[in-house]
């Protein structure tokens, strides 16, 4: 049995036998528990549930034979989904906690699982994202073993688990456990290389991860050995699958720069710069990479879930001026060792490219991004680390394009320089100096492009009013004269102050590392067990040292004030006014709900003045602002948590709506109230969708949303639905994924007729959410493509959008869309016509996915026709590669289809062919196209043992074409037609030996030693032709016709 490798102290459970290796490591400390804990810790809910499921399985399998155990498990599983889940989770837990039984439990799990291991995959992802740091060492080892087995079995979704595993490998960390994890995942990817190559996303993510880790692994012999394995792995994927790696974007160049001195990468760099075609025919050069923005999925994958949680907590919950203890904690945890210097680049790239706060957060006193980046820059202790951190900060500036890139990616750098001018002038000076010097030094041949990128960035910053103007920054007296002169030389356009000068006023400058602590009244804001930092270091002497620091964006000063509904109260009736005031003073949710029900009842009274609806909506919108902040979906989704989440006072309007008949006048009145609310708070739309999806009271009432949409000013279901889903996408991606199945199910005409919603989804989901949606599709809960509309959607979304402004999807988004399509049971022939739109340089993602899917199919005549209808181009290998594959797998079937297509196209008059081609929008299959592709295939099969062109159908078809084509075609495809001439010559022999001769002559010709050059081959063909045709020069045409006319061969 295979042993899980552990390098010295690096393995968390050294030499633990993974998968039943003789009972080594028979359980985790603490009686087989999954998670590490102390006597003071409360029992973890997830652990309790898994142990409960494990006890169910154990009770059914203990003391009985293996067959009886299997029968018992299968009988229990058949009772229903809850029982199926219990058995799957029980066996999964046994795999993690009992290594000696792992192999047997995995086998049982594979037998009883009815959902393709979906339950297990989701639980692995949950443990990796939420519990990995608390996991027992034995369980960690077994988890790696289990993932290896899932990969070996080719379980759908295992690639998502591998990517989540890679996310747990921390950068800048060379502790034993982290090195063990990096090596274990690398071993899985290396051993199962063929499986890895099937997933383009996994290839790119693995290359990005291990290119980054190579920098950390140096010094000891163990680290050097691991480093070499990582180098070999990355180099092989980069050289063999460069187009898949190309989806990473410009950050691939940044990572390759860091490893450029390693000999293997040095050679790769030479090819990238001087011979890009050697890596891929579609790769035009380094500029192509640098102009492609890196998707946030890659930037996020280099932060562990714990780092990401803490960083998001700081940028969304911590007030500016009270961040010091959080920064201190983060530095002690992740940035305290010399090796952690390299992690700062990952953090800065993540903050710039992934953390994009909403306008609401930007206008609040929440800790701004520039302050965190400024703090990270001040903690760099080596010049190399500081230079790399500055490059990470300015990286999106160098090739910035306002059409493709976001202002949010470049905003932190300019604000760091602006706000550091007074408290930290040295930081501003070093960043400005770096910005000037990077232009000529980044890559001299592209200096003009870099200059234009930096200029576009600065111009966009001024246009968007991030800073009113740049002269106070570039021409500041605090900068030395040489730097100011260099700035005036490089950027004269931005160094002259407007007249009269406009001074950008900011509040009192604050040090990056504040000495202020949280006041007593604010401590509860951080009392959140899910995202809270350790409180061990809280300074008890902070009382009395209270000082308010508030950051406002430069463009506008917005101070969030207490809710004030006084202007609206005077416009309300006395009784309604009293109820609204009670609602404002309500201390708890239950009391507010009671008052809210009274307000709804009053609105539904016959004598209610409908003109007051607008005023009432304004009051409710102000009072319930908190409802529209933060996440709507509970962290753990259960029936109880969902029902609890829809118990908000505002949702009482939705509940009353669900209890009414649609033809009731009260129903219309509540819809009018919601319409007024919708005008003032657009988020109400997706909150209604969530209520209809989550509440038991709203079961089967999703059609109410359509009534709501028609009652709004938009008045159109499609427009309203798209706007609400867009708002949901921007606020809460988890909720978007949760709503997706019901939205597609309930509103198929609105969701399946265009790719707008599809684009919203794939633009924000991560690999785990993609896998979740794929599982929903395969379980029948979600249909995102229909047979009758899928071609139209793909055409409009990816390739030939009818509008001038195409959707311009990112590479990762396109791969997600293709993965979702492939999860549907739609015949490939349905979308085969799309091949005629695809261009090898512009649509590599679609071509790659179609190519991998076609190789699994048995070729039909329509498939072959569409493949052959692609234009011939020396760099486009699509048609040749799939034809070659079909030659190997379906030789006779392919030959029959090609024969049929050749004869059909040859029988059409040439004028009619050209007339048809010119009148049709789609590319039509022509005889010359087929012959060109066949000739390319013939050249590709040269020097192989493949006898495709020796088959009778192919030779008959070529003979038929040769007999009627013109001299130009005969000359152009002489080598191809020579095969038919040999067949024709051999067919003049007596009938008994005719078939034998037809097969043996060309075959012996293919297997014989190839002539040294094409001229000799052509010469021998001509000679034999001349010899055989002298006696009977007139019979060739008739013989060709008769051969084709008879199908007996």
* SS3 labels along 857-908: CCCCHHHHHHHHCCCCCCCCCHHHHHHHHHHHHCHHHHHHHHHHHHHHHHHC
Per-residue pLDDT tens digits for 346-391: 999 999 999 999 888 888 889 999 999 999 999 888 888 899 999 9
Cα–Cα dist 741/723, whole Å = 17
- pLDDT value, residue 387: 93
- pLDDT value, residue 704: 87
Q: Partners of 366 in the beta sheet?
A: 319
Question: ∠ at Cα 927 (924, 929), nearest 5°?
Answer: 70
- pLDDT value, residue 536: 40
Sole residue written with tokens 């034995």: 138
User: What's the rounded mean pLDDT across residues 542-566?
Assistant: 44
Q: Indicate whether 176 pLDDT > 90.
A: yes
- pLDDT value, residue 904: 82
Q: How many other C-beta atoms are found inside a 10 Å radius of the C-beta of residue 438?
A: 19
Q: Which of the residue ranges 450-459, 522-531, 859-868 would you say has the lowest mean pLDDT?
A: 522-531
Identify the helix (H) or strand (E) that includes residue 88: helix 81-97
User: What's the rounded mean pLDDT across residues 825-853?
Assistant: 82
- 19 or 596: whose pLDDT is higher? 596
422-435 in b/e form (b: 16+ CB < 10 A) is eebeebbbbbbbbb
- pLDDT value, residue 642: 87
Q: Indicate whether 1011 pLDDT > 60.
A: no
In contact, 495 and 440? CB cutoff 8 Å: no
Sole residue written with tokens 């870099």: 450
φ, ψ dihedrals at 136, nearest 5°: -60, 150
- 10 or 610: whose pLDDT is higher? 610
- 128 or 960: whose pLDDT is higher? 128
Q: Which of the residue ranges 110-119, 233-242, 301-310, 1037-1046 would you say has the lowest mean pLDDT?
A: 1037-1046
Q: Indicate whether 545 pLDDT > 70.
A: no
Question: Under 8 Å CB-to-CB from 820, ≥6 apart: which residues?
Answer: 758, 762, 770, 773, 774, 777, 784, 785
DSSP 113: -
Q: How many other C-beta atoms are found inside a 10 Å radius of the C-beta of residue 513?
A: 15
Cα–Cα dist 752/758, whole Å = 9
- pLDDT value, residue 922: 44
Three-state DSSP class for residue 187: helix
- pLDDT value, residue 98: 92
* 394 preceded by a cis bond (ω within 30 of 0): no
Q: Indicate whether 544 pLDDT > 90.
A: no
CA-nearest of 147, 110, 107 to 125 is 147
- pLDDT value, residue 796: 61
User: What's the rounded mean pLDDT across residues 198-226?
Assistant: 94
The model's confidence at residue 663, banded by pLDDT at 50, 70 and 90, is low
Q: Indicate whether 705 pLDDT > 80.
A: yes
Q: Which range in 58-67, 525-534, 577-586, 747-756 is most confidently predicted, on average pLDDT?
A: 58-67
The model's confidence at residue 799, banded by pLDDT at 50, 70 and 90, is low
Q: Indicate whether 60 pLDDT > 80.
A: yes
- pLDDT value, residue 107: 93
Question: Under 8 Å CB-to-CB from 756, ≥6 apart: which residues?
Answer: 722
User: What's the rounded mean pLDDT across residues 338-343?
Assistant: 90
Question: ∠ at Cα 761 (760, 766), nearest 5°?
Answer: 130
- pLDDT value, residue 186: 97
Per-residue pLDDT tens digits for 391-449: 999 999 999 999 889 999 999 999 999 999 888 889 999 999 999 999 999 999 999 99
Q: Indicate whether 1022 pLDDT > 50.
A: no
Q: Indicate whether 161 pLDDT > 50.
A: yes
Cα–Cα distance list, 311 to 335, 522, 531 (Å): 13, 19, 10
Q: Indicate whether 122 pLDDT > 60.
A: yes
Per-residue pLDDT tens digits for 312-325: 999 998 999 889 98
Question: Under 8 Å CB-to-CB from 786, ≥6 apart: which residues?
Answer: 748, 752
- pLDDT value, residue 909: 54
- pLDDT value, residue 296: 92
Query: Among the residues of 732-779, which ranges form H helices?
Result: 733-746, 748-751, 756-762, 767-778
* Tokens at 712, concatenated: 């709004």
Sole residue written with tokens 């009072």: 623
Q: What percent of the chain has pLDDT over 90?
A: 37
- pLDDT value, residue 563: 64
CA torsion through residues 967, 969, 972, 978, sign: negative
- pLDDT value, residue 509: 37
Question: Under 8 Å CB-to-CB from 965, ≥6 apart: which residues?
Answer: 906, 927
User: What's the rounded mean pLDDT across residues 586-590?
Assistant: 77
The model's confidence at residue 934, banded by pLDDT at 50, 70 and 90, is confident
- pLDDT value, residue 797: 59
* Tokens at 646, concatenated: 């829809």
Cα–Cα dist 408/496, whole Å = 25
Q: Indicate whether 629 pLDDT > 60.
A: yes
- pLDDT value, residue 230: 96
Three-state DSSP class for residue 319: strand
Cα–Cα dist 146/124, whole Å = 10
- 592 or 946: whose pLDDT is higher? 592
Q: What percent of the chain has pLDDT over 70?
A: 80
Q: Indicate whether 607 pLDDT > 80.
A: no
Cα–Cα dist 217/671, whole Å = 62
- pLDDT value, residue 521: 32
- pLDDT value, residue 1041: 38
* Tokens at 226, concatenated: 């691991």
- pLDDT value, residue 562: 56
- pLDDT value, residue 515: 35
CA-nearest of 808, 799, 913 to 850 is 799
User: What's the rounded mean pLDDT across residues 286-295?
Assistant: 94
- pLDDT value, residue 59: 93
User: What's the rounded mean pLDDT across residues 946-975?
Assistant: 82
Mean pLDDT of the residues in the chain: 79
Q: How many other C-beta atoms are found inside a 10 Å radius of the C-beta of residue 670?
A: 21
Q: How far is CA 601 from the centre of its chain?
A: 47
User: What's the rounded mean pLDDT across residues 468-487?
Assistant: 89
Sole residue written with tokens 């990270």: 376
Cα–Cα dist 749/747, whole Å = 6
The model's confidence at residue 250, banded by pLDDT at 50, 70 and 90, is very high
The model's confidence at residue 984, banded by pLDDT at 50, 70 and 90, is low
């Amino acid at each position: 049995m295979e042993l899980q490798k552990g390098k010295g102290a690096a393995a968390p459970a050294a030499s633990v036998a993974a998968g039943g290796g003789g009972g080594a490591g028979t359980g985790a400390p603490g009686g087989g528990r999954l998670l590490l804990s102390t006597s003071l810790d409360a029992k973890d809910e997830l652990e309790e549930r898994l142990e409960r499921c494990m006890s169910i399985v154990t009770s059914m399998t203990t003391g009985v034979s293996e067959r009886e155990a299997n029968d018992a498990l299968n009988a229990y599983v058949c009772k229903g989904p809850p029982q199926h889940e219990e058995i799957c989770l029980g066996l999964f837990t046994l795999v993690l906690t009992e290594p000696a039984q792992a192999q047997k439990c995995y086998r049982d799990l594979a037998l009883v699982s009815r959902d393709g291991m979906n339950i297990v995959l989701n639980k692995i992802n949950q443990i990796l994202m939420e519990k990995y740091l608390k996991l027992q060492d034995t369980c960690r080892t077994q988890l790696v073993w289990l993932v290896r087995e899932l990969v070996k079995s080719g379980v759908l979704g295992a690639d998502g688990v591998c990517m989540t595993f890679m996310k747990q490998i921390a950068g800048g960390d060379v502790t034993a456990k982290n090195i063990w994890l990096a090596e274990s995942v690398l071993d899985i990817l290396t051993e199962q290389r063929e499986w890895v190559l099937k997933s383009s996303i996994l290839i790119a993510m693995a290359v990005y991860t291990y290119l980054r880790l190579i920098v950390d692994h140096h010094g000891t012999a163990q680290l050097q050995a691991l480093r070499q394995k990582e180098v070999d792995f990355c180099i092989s994927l980069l050289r063999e699958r460069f187009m898949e790696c190309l989806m990473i974007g410009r950050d691939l160049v940044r990572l390759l720069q860091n490893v450029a001195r390693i000999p293997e990468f040095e050679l790769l760099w030479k090819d990238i710069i001087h011979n890009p075609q050697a890596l891929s025919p579609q790769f035009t050069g380094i500029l192509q990479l640098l102009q492609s923005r890196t998707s946030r999925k890659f930037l996020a994958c280099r932060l562990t879930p714990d780092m990401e949680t803490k960083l998001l907590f700081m940028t969304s919950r911590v007030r500016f001026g009270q961040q010091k203890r959080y920064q201190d904690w983060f530095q002690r945890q992740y940035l305290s060792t010399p090796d952690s210097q390299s992690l700062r680049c990952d953090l800065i790239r993540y903050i710039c490219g992934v953390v994009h706060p909403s306008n609401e957060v930007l206008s609040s006193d929440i800790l701004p991004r520039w302050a965190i980046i400024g703090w990270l820059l001040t903690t760099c202790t080596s010049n190399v680390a500081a230079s790399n951190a500055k490059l990470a900060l300015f990286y999106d500036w160098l090739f910035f394009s306002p059409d493709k890139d976001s202002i949010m990616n470049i905003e932190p750098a300019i604000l760091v320089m602006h706000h550091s001018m007074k408290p930290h002038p040295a930081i501003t000076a070093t960043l400005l100096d770096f910005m000037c010097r990077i232009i000529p030094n980044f890559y001299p041949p592209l200096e003009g492009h870099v200059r234009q990128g930096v200029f576009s960035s600065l111009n966009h910053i001024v246009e968007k009013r991030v800073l009113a103007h740049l002269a106070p920054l570039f021409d500041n007296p605090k900068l030395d004269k040489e730097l100011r002169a260099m700035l005036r030389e490089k950027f004269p356009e931005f160094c002259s102050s407007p007249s009269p000068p406009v001074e950008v006023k900011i509040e009192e400058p604050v040090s990056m590392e504040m000495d202020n602590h949280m006041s007593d009244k604010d401590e509860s804001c951080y009392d959140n067990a899910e995202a809270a930092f350790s409180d061990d270091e809280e300074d008890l002497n902070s009382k009395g040292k209270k000082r308010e620091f508030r950051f406002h964006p430069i463009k506008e000063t917005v101070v969030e004030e207490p809710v004030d509904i006084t202007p609206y109260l005077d416009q309300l009736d006395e009784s309604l006014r009293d109820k609204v005031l009670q609602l404002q003073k309500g201390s708890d949710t239950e009391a507010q709900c009671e008052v809210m029900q009274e307000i709804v009842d009053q609105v539904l009274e016959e004598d209610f003045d409908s003109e007051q609806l607008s005023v009432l909506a304004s009051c409710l919108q102000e009072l319930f602002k908190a409802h529209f902040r933060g996440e709507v979906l509970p962290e753990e989704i259960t029936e109880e948590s969902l029902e609890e989440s829809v118990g908000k006072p505002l949702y009482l309007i939705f509940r009353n709506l669900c209890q009414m008949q649609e033809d009731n006048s009260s129903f219309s009145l509540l819809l009018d109230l919601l319409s007024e609310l919708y005008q003032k708070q657009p988020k109400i739309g997706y909150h209604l969708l969530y209520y209809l999806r989550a509440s038991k009271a709203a079961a089967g009432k999703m059609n109410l949303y359509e009534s709501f949409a028609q009652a709004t000013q938009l008045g159109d279901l499609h427009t309203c639905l798209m706007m609400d889903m867009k708002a949901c996408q921007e606020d809460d991606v988890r909720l978007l994924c949760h709503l997706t199945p019901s939205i597609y199910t309930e509103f198929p005409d609105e969701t399946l007729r265009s790719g707008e919603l599809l684009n919203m989804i794939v633009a924000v989901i991560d690999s785990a959410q993609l896998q979740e949606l794929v599982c929903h599709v395969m379980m029948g809960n979600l249909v995102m493509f229909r047979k009758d509309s899928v071609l139209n959607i793909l055409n409009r979304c990816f390739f030939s959008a009818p509008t001038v402004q195409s959707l311009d999807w990112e590479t990762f988004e396109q791969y997600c869309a293709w993965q979702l399509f492939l999860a549907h049971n739609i015949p490939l022939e349905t979308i085969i016509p799309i091949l005629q739109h695809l261009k090898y340089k512009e649509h590599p993602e679609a071509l790659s996915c179609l190519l991998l899917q076609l190789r699994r199919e048995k070729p039909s005549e329509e498939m072959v026709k569409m493949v052959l209808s692609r234009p011939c181009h020396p760099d486009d290998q699509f048609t040749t590669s799939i034809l070659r594959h079909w030659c190997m797998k379906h030789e006779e079937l392919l030959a029959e289809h090609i024969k049929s297509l050749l004869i059909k196209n040859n029988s059409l008059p040439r004028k009619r062919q050209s007339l048809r081609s010119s009148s049709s929008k789609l590319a039509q299959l022509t005889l010359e196209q087929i012959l060109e592709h066949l000739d390319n295939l013939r050249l590709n099969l040269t020097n192989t043992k493949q006898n495709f062109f020796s088959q009778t159908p192919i030779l008959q078809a070529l003979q038929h074409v040769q007999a009627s084509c013109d001299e130009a075609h005969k000359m152009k495809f002489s080598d191809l037609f020579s095969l038919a001439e040999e067949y024709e010559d051999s067919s003049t022999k007596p009938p008994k030996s005719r078939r034998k001769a037809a097969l043996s002559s060309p075959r012996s010709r293919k297997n014989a030693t190839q002539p040294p050059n094409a001229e000799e081959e052509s010469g021998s063909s001509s000679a034999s032709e001349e010899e055989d045709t002298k006696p009977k020069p007139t019979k060739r045409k008739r013989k060709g016709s008769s051969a084709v006319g008879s199908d007996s061969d």
